[in-house]
């Protein structure tokens, strides 16, 4: 990120943080620190960690490569930490980067899996969000204000529309995109594979979208978000219980879905500070919570989630030198004359 852009992001983050601190009710923070149950928070963290494992399994399904679940879990920890901290969703680039570094997975395959995972996430999140709106019982104009953006997102990422768009992209993409590199050349190491052509990327998406793989990934995405909202509910319950607010699972679904959707905004700050809180605050004010309490619980909730991702991501980051660039384990007889890419042979195992 260039110096001017970084300065702008830092300024935006500080301004949004200042707005939060000026609007929040500090009594909520004190009550949470005093009365929150460590056991419930640990249970929330354990369930949240379980969703990382489920995501690792989903990546293995989408990639269709013999990469171990433990290795993908490691990448999920790194990827999620970067996604939560870096502005403008630039943390997404760490997923193809680490797949290429650890397993030499070709970039078209990595990017297509990432794209389809986000499509699957959007479908699952939008479906649960709409179900939450129905369960909470939003009246009239409030329902319209929240349902319309969700419907637009679901329709935009619908499988039928995607199935029609991708062949058009493939036909129009006759020019090659210059391969761009995700890491600098290290001493004695080969550079990562290039991005390749847009046509190759389109073909990868169409291949992964077919058959049982995508159906299983979509179902697993629904489970991931359902379990993730359970972890969110337990955490939010500890924050709202001292306030006497009638919290329910579906209210948490609506509130945190609104927060998750703000992460795609072009003004996404460092750590999502401000934008994430805005989604939570707006949703919970509509659900009857006082503004100061909504801002305070949003800030507490967001900071706790960031702490969760740091606890999982920091050890994974420290483990990077230990892993090095092991990539795929192949027999000595296969190493000569063959590439070491995970995508080159289904019989190779990547740890």
Tokens linked to 173: 């993409």
**Confidence band for 12, pLDDT divided at 50, 70 and 90:** confident
CA torsion through residues 272, 73, 325, 349, sign = negative
pLDDT band at residue 338 using 50, 70 and 90 as cut-offs: very low
Per-residue pLDDT of 156-208, as tens digits, reads 455 555 555 555 555 554 444 444 344 444 445 554 444 444 556 556 666 66
Distance of CA 205 to CAs 35, 61, 248, Å? Answer: 49, 13, 38
Cα–Cα distance, 214 to 117 (Å, whole number): 9
DSSP string, 54-118: HHHHHHHHHH-S-B-HHHHHHHHHHHHHHHHHSGGGGGGGHHHHHHHHHH---HHHHHHHHHHHH
Give this prediction's pTM: 0.78
pLDDT recorded at residue 163: 54
Q: Rg (Cα) of the chain, in Å, rounded?
A: 22
Query: For 329-342, what is the mean pLDDT?
Result: 42
By CB neighbour count within 10 A (0-12 exposed, 13-18 middle, 19+ buried), where does 49 fall? middle
Do 65 and 103 meet the contact criterion of CB atoms below 8 Å apart? Answer: yes
Count of domains forming the chain: 1
Going by pLDDT thresholds of 50, 70 and 90, the confidence category of residue 59 is: very high
CA distance 120 to 114: 10
Query: Which are the contacts of 146, defined by CB distance < 8 A and separation ≥ 6?
Result: 129, 133, 138, 254, 258, 283, 286
In a domain? residue 251: yes
Q: Which residues span the domain enclosing 48?
A: 12-179+191-324
Please calculate the CA angle 257-271-240 and round it to the nearest 5 degrees: 50
3-state DSSP helix/strand/coil % of the chain, to nearest 5:
75, 0, 25
Please indicate, yes or no, if residue 350 is contained in any of the structural domains: no
pLDDT at 58: 94
**Is 333 within the bounds of a domain?**
no
Write down the pLDDT at residue 186: 46
Interhelix angle for 249-261 vs 211-240, to 10°? 110
Most distant CA atoms of the chain, gap in Å: 68
Percent residues over pLDDT 90 in the chain: 34
In a domain, 31, yes or no: yes
* 234 inside domain: yes
Strands 349-350 and 328-329: antiparallel
Confidence at residue 108, expressed as pLDDT on a 0 to 100 scale: 79
Q: Mean pLDDT of all residues in the chain?
A: 77
Half-sphere exposure for 314 (CA within 13 Å, toward CB) = 6
Q: Where are the alpha helices (DSSP H) in 157-290?
A: 159-172, 198-209, 211-240, 249-261, 275-286
The per-residue pLDDT for range 284-334, each reduced to its tens digit, is: 998 999 999 999 999 999 999 999 999 999 999 999 887 754 544 433 333
> What does the pLDDT read at residue 264?
61
Tens digit of each residue's pLDDT (9 = 90 or more) over 237-266:
999 999 999 999 999 999 999 888 776 655
Beta bridge partners of 349: 329
User: Has residue 344 got a pLDDT over 90?
Assistant: no
Q: Nearest-CA neighbor of 182 among 87, 99, 297, 250?
A: 99
Residue 232 has pLDDT above 50, yes or no: yes
Does residue 345 sit within a domain? no
In a domain, 261, yes or no: yes
* Amino acid 273: pLDDT: 83
Question: Residue 337 falls within a domain, yes or no?
Answer: no
Most confident residue range from 53-62, 145-154, 208-217: 53-62
At residue 174, the pLDDT reads 42
Q: Which residue has the tokens 């309490």?
A: 293
């Amino acid at each position: 990120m260039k110096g001017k852009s970084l300065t702008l992001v830092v300024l935006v983050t500080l301004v949004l943080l200042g707005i939060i601190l000026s609007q929040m009710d500090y009594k909520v923070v004190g009550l949470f620190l005093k009365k929150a149950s460590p056991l419930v928070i640990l249970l929330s963290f354990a369930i949240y960690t379980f969703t990382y494992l489920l995501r690792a399994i989903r990546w293995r399904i989408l990639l269709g490569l013999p990469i171990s679940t433990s290795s993908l879990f490691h990448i999920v920890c790194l990827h999620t930490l970067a996604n939560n901290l870096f502005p403008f969703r630039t943390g997404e680039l760490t997923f193809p980067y680490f797949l290429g570094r650890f397993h030499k997975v070709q970039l078209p395959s990595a990017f297509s899996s990432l794209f389809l995972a986000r499509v699957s996430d959007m479908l699952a999140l939008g479906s649960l969000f709409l179900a939450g709106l129905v369960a909470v019982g939003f009246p009239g104009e409030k329902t319209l204000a929240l349902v319309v953006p969700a419907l637009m997102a679901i329709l935009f990422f619908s499988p039928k529309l995607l199935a029609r768009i991708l062949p058009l992209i493939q036909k129009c993409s006759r020019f090659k995109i210059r391969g761009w590199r995700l890491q600098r050349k290290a001493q004695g190491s080969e550079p990562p594979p290039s991005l390749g052509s847009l046509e190759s990327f389109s073909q990868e998406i169409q291949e992964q979208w077919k058959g049982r793989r995508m159906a299983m990934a979509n179902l697993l995405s629904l489970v991931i978000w359902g379990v993730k909202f359970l972890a969110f509910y337990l955490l939010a319950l500890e924050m709202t219980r001292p306030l006497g607010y009638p919290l329910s699972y579906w209210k948490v679904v609506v509130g945190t879905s609104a927060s998750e959707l703000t992460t795609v905004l072009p003004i996404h700050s460092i750590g999502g500070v401000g934008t994430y809180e805005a989604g939570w605050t707006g949703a919970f004010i509509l659900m009857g919570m006082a503004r100061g309490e909504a801002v305070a619980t949003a800030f507490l909730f967001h900071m706790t989630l960031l702490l969760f991702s740091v606890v999982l991501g920091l050890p994974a980051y420290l483990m990077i030198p230990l892993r090095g660039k092991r990539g795929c384990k192949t027999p000595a007889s296969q190493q000569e004359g063959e590439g070491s890419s995970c995508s080159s042979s289904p019989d190779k195992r990547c740890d």
